Amino acid sequence: MTRHALDVEHYISPETFALEREKLFGKLWTFVGFSSMVRERNQFFTRKVAGVPILIQRTTAGIRAFINECPHRLSAIQTVAEGNRPLICPYHAWSFGAEGELHGLPNHGLYQFTAQEREKICLHKLHVEEVGQLLFVNFSAEPVPLREQFSDDYLEQLREASSCLDTQIIYSCHRVRYNWKLNMENVKDYNHVPFVHPKTFSPVMTAPIKTINSEPQTPSLIMQLLQQGAAPALSQLSYPTKAPIQPYKSWFASLCETYGEEHAYYNWFMYPNVNFCSVRGEHFLLQQYDPVSPGETDYHLWMMTARRKDVRTDFTALLSTLIRGERAVIAEDTVILERLQDGFGKHSRRFTHGDYEAHLVQQHLWYRANVLGD
């Protein structure tokens, strides 16, 4: 059976968006932050993941993830982006224990809960997993095993690379006007780099384009994929890549325990919505494209160097320079992707993919089978 890549309808339709929230973000493991953001007891951070308010907090039991909502009047338990505060609702001061169980109920006589009722009251706890310093959450009561979403080799690489991350992190979040899938597709598409980033990113790469020297096959790789029509395994959608970059050391490299030995630009694509990268193992960035609506995405960006040899080294100025550079590259993509989204409509024809975009078509085939249920 011949299938085809996604249609533009799947980038603009509220029905598809609802399916994604249920069958994709509702089921898969999603990156949420770094363990270094919750080092001390009661340290926490809050954010939204696919529209759901999440609270990550270190309790006496360890790092725990909850929906940031009190079971009483559904107020947020923690009301700021990060801090250090016990699990107490600011509205009526209900307090919660290490696993989210109800602890204290001021003026309890007013509620008249039976012991049984009271025992059932708790925060909505989510599954959370640590891979090195990367934290993932899952909304499902019985999540797919992490090893099904990511291969063992890949998880080992994530563990190794993320163990090199420094704890001084710079972060930004801005809203863009395009569907989150366009960004995941854009970062896997290395052939845009010389055209969209001729002055910023492209000069860093020594060989931005990997040439495919073979004669065109018939049918092409893409045609074969589509004719087979079989969805790839979920773990095939996340993979590492490495490209050679200018052999040059940054001034700060000697101040850090750098990752790897190569002059390489490392990428770890994490399906569904993360691009984790490192420039020569000297500094790292993690981009996440968090869906807000079919045509809107929150672009989260974290950056840090490899671990400082001396924690007294202050990289505040360096990190703000690095993030400014990265935001300039992102701005070049944003212009293209917002224009793409703006042009999508009923008149739109299908995408025309070539062999170098096989990974992208694989994503579409998995999505058709698992989100759209085709």
What does the binding site for Fe ion look like in residue numbers (CB under 5 A)?
333
Task: For the CB of residue 180, give the shortest distance to Fe ion in the complex, in Å.
Answer: 15
Instruction: Spell out the SS3 assignment of 346-369.
Output: CCCCCCCCCHHHHHHHHHHHHHHH
Respond yes or no on whether the N-terminal peptide bond of residue 232 is cis (omega within 30° of 0). Answer: no
| Complex with Fe ion: residue 25 or 201, whichever CB lies closer | 201
Task: For the CB of residue 323, give the shortest distance to Fe ion in the complex, in Å.
Answer: 16
Task: For the CB of residue 192, give the shortest distance to Fe ion in the complex, in Å.
Answer: 6
Residue 334: C-alpha distances to residues 171, 185, 218, 338 (Å):
18, 13, 35, 6
Catalogue the E-assigned strands of 163-225.
170-176
Task: For the CB of residue 221, give the shortest distance to Fe ion in the complex, in Å.
Answer: 23
| Complex with Fe ion: residue 111 or 195, whichever CB lies closer | 195
> How far is C-alpha 246 from the chain's CA centre?
27
Q: Which residue is nearest to Fe ion (CB)?
A: 333
| Complex with Fe ion: residue 326 or 333, whichever CB lies closer | 333
Q: Report which secondary-structure segment, H or E, holds 289.
A: strand 283-293
| Complex with Fe ion: residue 166 or 333, whichever CB lies closer | 333
Residue 97: C-alpha distances to residues 64, 105, 240, 246, 321 (Å):
11, 12, 39, 52, 41
Task: For the CB of residue 253, give the shortest distance to Fe ion in the complex, in Å.
Answer: 25
Task: For the CB of residue 277, give the shortest distance to Fe ion in the complex, in Å.
Answer: 12
| Complex with Fe ion: residue 83 or 354, whichever CB lies closer | 354
| Complex with Fe ion: residue 282 or 333, whichever CB lies closer | 333
Task: For the CB of residue 336, give the shortest distance to Fe ion in the complex, in Å.
Answer: 8
Beta strands at 125-131 and 134-138: parallel, antiparallel or unpaired: antiparallel
Task: For the CB of residue 200, give the shortest distance to Fe ion in the complex, in Å.
Answer: 9
- Whether the CB-CB separation of 137 and 78 falls below 8 Å is answered with no
Any bridge partners for residue 53, and if so which?
A: 48
Task: For the CB of residue 333, give the shortest distance to Fe ion in the complex, in Å.
Answer: 4
| Complex with Fe ion: residue 7 or 332, whichever CB lies closer | 332
- Whether the CB-CB separation of 82 and 57 falls below 8 Å is answered with no
| Complex with Fe ion: residue 290 or 333, whichever CB lies closer | 333
Q: Where are the alpha helices (DSSP H) in 175-315?
A: 180-188, 193-196, 221-228
d(CA 232, CA 85): 44
Token readout for 210 is: 């990997």
- Token look-up 């893409």 returns 222
| Complex with Fe ion: residue 20 or 333, whichever CB lies closer | 333
Helices (H) and strands (E) in the chain, counts: 10, 17
d(CA 42, CA 31): 21
